[in-house]
Chains A and B, each alone.
Chain A
Amino acid sequence: MTQVSIQTGDFDTATELAALENCGGGGVASFTGVVRGDDGLIALELQHYPAMTLAQVERIVEDAMTRWPLLGVRVIHRFGRLEPGDRIVFVGTASRHRTAALESCAFLIDWLKSHAPFWKKEHFSDGEARWVDARAEDEAKARDWLS
């Protein structure tokens, strides 16, 4: 089972985890990203490249499937306006082996950060707004998987 969703709406992590547990692998790993309310942040606006996003995330998932023996991969990435405490992203992997589940989950979230066409804009309580700069360490983490 592999499924990728790019959506504005929320998702239920318990439902997603249960589906992965039913893949028969015996091991499920997941990562859920949640909007942080640091420095008076009131909203996060996520823009994406609709014609590219789904295909690009599916390419990243296929890459993970060739690297690890996976029985299930679920990726959900939201876009639009989100508030502190809202879930942004979910990555879940199922495998017979815990190492494969854990490593592929980490790989997927690292690659989503640096290879999926999303851009975040932060809105603050004082009316300021700014586009988030890409972090060199995120690029470096993604590159580490190539070595």
Chain B
Amino acid sequence: MAPLNILYFAWVREAIGRDEEQVERPSADMPIADLIAMLAARGGGYAQALGDPDRLRAALDQHFVPLDTPIGTARELAIFPPVTGG
């Protein structure tokens, strides 16, 4: 199965220092929050950006979802702070 593409936005992107990356596909039943915790464990900018999940929101295949949502067969996961448009 194809790897999972992860996109970062706003200060999450700045702390991590990249717009996007591909990771080995986690099991379909893994919640987004668990993947975020695994990424945060890389340390450095990842820990800074992803260490406090309460400050994060996510979208799976361009739809907003809660962080306890399983990744399933999604191709794209986006991780970002709460939106501030308008």
- Same complex for A and B? Answer yes
Minimum CB–CB distance from B86 to chain A (whole Å) comes to 4
Minimum C-beta distance from B64 to chain A (A): 7
Question: Please, which residues of chain B bring their CB within 8 A of the CB of A46?
Answer: 85
Are A134 and B84 also in contact (CB < 8 A) when A47-B10, A119-B10 are?
A: yes
- Given A49-B7, A52-B59, A52-B62, are A118 and B84 neighbors across the interface (CB < 8 Å)? yes
1/0 per position for B28-64, CB-CB distance to A under 8 A?
A: 0000000000000000000000000000000100101
Q: Please tell me which one of the listed residues A47, A112, A121, A134 contacts residue B82 in the complex, with CB atoms under 8 A apart.
A: A134
Q: Quick check: A118 and B83 within 8 Å, CB to CB?
A: yes
From known contacts A47-B10, A55-B62, infer whether A116 and B83 are also in contact, taking CB-CB under 8 Å: yes
Residues of B near A114 (CB, < 8 A) are: 82-83
Taking a contact as CB atoms closer than 8 A, the residue among A33, A49, A119, A134 that contacts B59 in the complex is A49
Whether a CB of chain A sits under 8 angstroms from the CB of B26 is: no
If the complex has contacts A52-B62, A52-B78, are A121 and B83 also in contact, measured as CB distance less than 8 A?
A: no
Known contacts A49-B7, A119-B9; A131/B86 CB under 8 A: no
Q: Which residue of B lies closest to A113 (CB)?
A: B86
- B interface footprint on A89-126 (CB within 8 Å = 1, 0 otherwise): 10000000000000000000100111111111100000
Q: Does A77 lie within 8 Å of B85, measured CB to CB?
A: yes
User: Who on chain B is nearest to A79 by CB?
Assistant: B85
Q: Tell me which residues across on chain B come within 8 A of A88, comparing CB atoms.
A: 86
For residue A55, which residues in chain B have a CB less than 8 angstroms away from its CB? 62
27 residue pairs from A and B, CB less than 8 Å apart = A47-B9, A47-B13, A48-B85, A49-B59, A49-B62, A51-B62, A52-B78, A77-B85, A109-B86, A113-B85, A114-B83, A116-B85, A116-B86, A117-B59, A117-B80, A117-B83, A117-B85, A118-B84, A119-B9, A119-B10, A119-B80, A119-B81, A119-B85, A131-B10, A131-B81, A134-B82, A134-B84
- With contacts A52-B78, A119-B80, A134-B84 known, what are 10 further pairs, Cβ within 8 A? A49-B7, A77-B85, A88-B86, A112-B85, A117-B78, A117-B85, A119-B9, A119-B83, A134-B82, A134-B83
Q: What is the interface of chain A, defined by CB distance below 8 A to chain B?
A: 33, 46-49, 51-52, 55-56, 77, 88-89, 109, 112-121, 131-134, 138-139
